[in-house]
Each structure stands twice: as C-alpha cells, then as structure tokens.
Chain A
Amino acid sequence: MKNTLIHLNSSPYTGLACKEGLDLALVLATFEQAVDLCVSGPALALLTLNQQPDALHGKNLHKLLEGLEFYDIDNVYIERSETEHPGAKNAELAQNTWSGVTALNTQQWQRLFSQYQQVFRF
C-alpha cells in the first residue's frame, strides 16, 4: 500500500479543484489507502469556521472536514507561517480556523512532501 498526500491549493469557491481533490482523498480512504491532506494558499478558506454558502456558491465543503475521521483521514496539515505570522496573508484565519488541523513550521512543511510516495495537487 502506498501513502498519499493530497495538497489542496485552490479556493473552494473559485472552481471545482478543491472539491475534486477532497473527493479523491475520500475515495482513496474508502479503499483503505493511507491518505493525508495539506492545505495552503487560497484553499485555506476551506478551513474557515461558520461558512454558509448557498447553492449558487457551491457545496459547503467545510462540512466534510468533520467527517474525515470516519474515513480514517487523521492528518490535515497547514503551514503555520501562512496564518499566524504578523501580517500573514491569511492572518484572520488563525483565530477562525477549524481545530482539526496540525500547523507545521516551515521546515516541517517542506519536509512533508518527501514523506509520501505520491503527492497529488488540486
């Protein structure tokens, strides 16, 4: 069995990439494949609490996060500097982020990508 990292880097509201990346993660997990997620850039919006998208905005992908543990997807990584540094682009997220994420420092984040046999980017 191979271990897989799904890297989400697209906004959940500008296209289908984020959704289709999550779909692949769920299917891999359904087939009992080891899969972790990491989230960066525009995809960080996925983690914001209290989202209320309507049908026109698209599916509420944030709701999927709570269900990940039932698929044995236990690791969702972000890079701490993207949200927590003063003046960080996504600074407002730090106070308002889903609690299931693991924040990595830059070195850990960079090492992350070589720990998997395959990384798929969406």
Chain B
Amino acid sequence: MQYTLLITGSPYQSKACHSALRFVKAAVAAHPNSIKGVFFYEDAVLLANALSQPPRDEYNLTQAWQELAVSNNFPLYVCIAASVRRGILSESESQRYEQSQHSLAEHFQLEGLGTLVDLINTTDKIIQFK
C-alpha cells in the first residue's frame, strides 16, 4: 500500500507536521516504498522556509523532513499559491515577482494543486494531517 500525505497544519500552531513525520518514519520502517509523496498546503507550507532558524536546543523539523525525504526517496511538494502568498519563493518564482531573495528550502518543490490531484489518483490512500 502506498500513501500520500496532505499536511495542512502550521508547523508553529499545530503538531500536524510533527505527527506526519512520525507516521512517515513508521511507514518506511515497515515498508520502504510506502510513501508516494508529501504535499504541504495551507500554513504547513511554512515548513519549507529556508530562512527559519529554530533555536539550537530545539528540534529542526524542516531539516528532519529533508533528511527523511532524501534517504527514502520521496518528493516534498509545496503548494505554489499557498507558498507564494506566505513568502516561500523558489529562485524562479522570486524572479517572476521581481524579488531579490528566494526562500524555498532545499529538497522542497513548488507545485500546483493539480499535482495533488494526480497523487490522489495514483495512490492507494491519502491521509490529511491538520
């Protein structure tokens, strides 16, 4: 069984991103290829901010997601519309909006909701973390 995760809860106002991380760790431990992809929407896109710096004695959630995705080879998609309005811009979006900086963290990709629809139709189960 392959899962897609839709994460909508803010990394700062909820434990959605934390719970989803624990779910993915358990899933890949049991079945290595069980995660098809993870799609961040609503305030969950804030996780993909490369400029956020958690205090050194706290858990670095963005980094934990990056490491987990790279080591298990699944994509981290971030809704482009939700991201851009919240200041998460890739290099190309930054150029498009004539900004001098970009802020999308490595290993995250900006994608439209159409990518989520595609994931929904090609995955056995989709689970929302809110």
Contacts and interface: CB of A to CB of B under 8 A. Distances in A.
Nearest to B120: A2
A1 B42 contact: no
Contacts, number: 37
A104 interface: no
Interface string B3-31: 00010100000000000000000000000
A24 B114 CA distance: 9
Give the contact-size bracket for chain B. 10 to 19
B81 interface: yes
Contacts of A31: 114, 117
Nearest to B86: A16
A48 to B, nearest CB: 23
Interface in A9-32: 16-17, 20, 23-24, 27-28, 31
A121 B128 contact: yes
Which of B42, B112, B121 has most chain A Cβ within 10 Å?
Answer: B42
B8 A118 contact: no
A40 interface: no
Nearest to A29: B117
B82 interface: yes
B105 interface: no
Interface residues of A, number: 16
Nearest to B117: A31
Nearest to A121: B130
Interface string B33-45: 0000000011100
B41 A24 contact: yes
B81 A120 contact: no
A20 B42 contact: yes
Interface of B: 6, 8, 41-43, 81-82, 112-114, 116-117, 120-121, 126, 128, 130
Given A23-B113, A118-B126, A121-B128, 14 more contacts: A4-B120, A16-B43, A20-B8, A20-B42, A20-B82, A23-B81, A27-B112, A27-B117, A28-B113, A31-B117, A33-B117, A33-B120, A120-B6, A121-B130
11 contacts: A4-B120, A20-B8, A23-B113, A24-B41, A27-B112, A27-B116, A33-B117, A33-B120, A120-B128, A121-B130, A122-B8
